[in-house]
Homo-oligomer: A and B are copies of this chain.
Amino acid sequence: MEDKEQTSLGSRPMVGGEGPQSYAQNSSIQKKVVEDTKELIHVAIIEKLGLQYITNSGSSNSTFRIADLGCSVGPNTFFAVQNIIDAIELKYHKTYKGNKINPEFQVFFNDHADNDFNTLFKLLPPSRNYFTNAVPGSFHGRLFPKSSLHFVHSSCSLHWLSKVPKEVVDSKSPAWNKGSIICTGLVKEVLDAYSNQFNNDMESYLTARAQEIVGGGLMVLIFPVLPDGIPMAQTSTGKAMELLYSCLNDLAILGLVKQEKVDSFNIPFYFPNAEEMVRIVERNGYFIVEKIQEYLSKSPVISKDVQFLITSHLRAATEGIIKEHFGLGIVEELFNYFQKKLTDDDHTFTKEYTPEIEYLFIVLKRKAFDR
């Protein structure tokens, strides 16, 4: 329960508040993901959630506890949570035909301790049928008491690593990631370092959740993945990040940031592919894969706004990390420059480009008999 928060170059929360650069205003791509998975979650709950398992666990009261991990400030998390509750109520209704009163719902919104929870509370739906809690801390460690959760949800968060792998910013290591700020997938040693970090982080994550989720409880995880055989460098996210890197390099040449600073900068996220994720779950051993599905999430916006969309989303997601590494001064300049380069550049993205990202939707069930 101690804070082992990564402070240096670890994953940082999205931009807080409700201003023009905030996550709350710049998360339409993630919102689309929540909408896309609405039906999938409904089906998973109707088909896979064993109610008797959960509510007859011996305690006199029947509270149903739901956690959303990596919730940011809203509003997406509120849609996700309401969707889960609606599906459970429907299932209750179908199963017990009114012979059993609905459980009370207790919802736990988790993110890093320095996430802007004040804004989350401000944006909470005023009329809601659940008890609200915010839980600060990294989901790579324990956050909840033993066997206290029935349903865990996490959307667009698990691809953030707990830290940048040491080797990739070590100029003496064969895994030194010179010439990039992400795991492009083109250099084996760099790929291995990132992949190891993701494997370790996921192992910690699953082991912590295994303690916290009751036997029979469900966990729905949604995060971006790479299509088979496609390296990150070829995806839209990869290309946007490479463009960001070239902007940083240009600013270094202009003397606005130090070249060493650019060389030692890496962004701690990693997109696995579906098989890699399944291997991790099986090796961990506490959960059964109940369902797994890959799908494309088409951007909801029209194409003339796309460049603005890319910049604003990239900024909402990376501004914290950039500030931490380079200082506050550079941020405005960097993203203005990025936006300009994006507009000028016909090569990176075609005119009809829409940022399609492939997502993995995976439903895990906590095995009942091994703690």
Contacts and interface: CB of A to CB of B under 8 A. Distances in A.
A106 B137 contact: no
B126 A2 contact: yes
Interface string A127-142: 1111111111100001
B117 A134 contact: yes
Interface in A153-181: none
Contact of A60 (B60, B121, B142, B147): B147
A136 B113 contact: no
A333 to B, nearest CB: 27
What is the total number of copies of this protein in its complex? 2
Contacts of A136: 121, 124, 132, 134
A121 B117 contact: yes
A124 B3 CA distance: 9
A295 interface: no
Contacts of A61: 145-148
Interface residues of A, number: 39
A341 to B, nearest CB: 35
B106 A113 contact: no
Contacts of A2: 126-128
A114 interface: yes
Given A104-B146, A131-B142, A143-B131, A126 B3 contact: yes
A20 interface: no
Nearest to A146: B61
A52 interface: no
A122 B133 contact: no
21 contacts: A1-B128, A1-B131, A3-B124, A3-B126, A57-B59, A58-B59, A59-B59, A60-B147, A61-B148, A104-B146, A106-B144, A106-B145, A108-B133, A114-B121, A117-B121, A121-B136, A131-B135, A132-B135, A132-B137, A133-B135, A134-B136
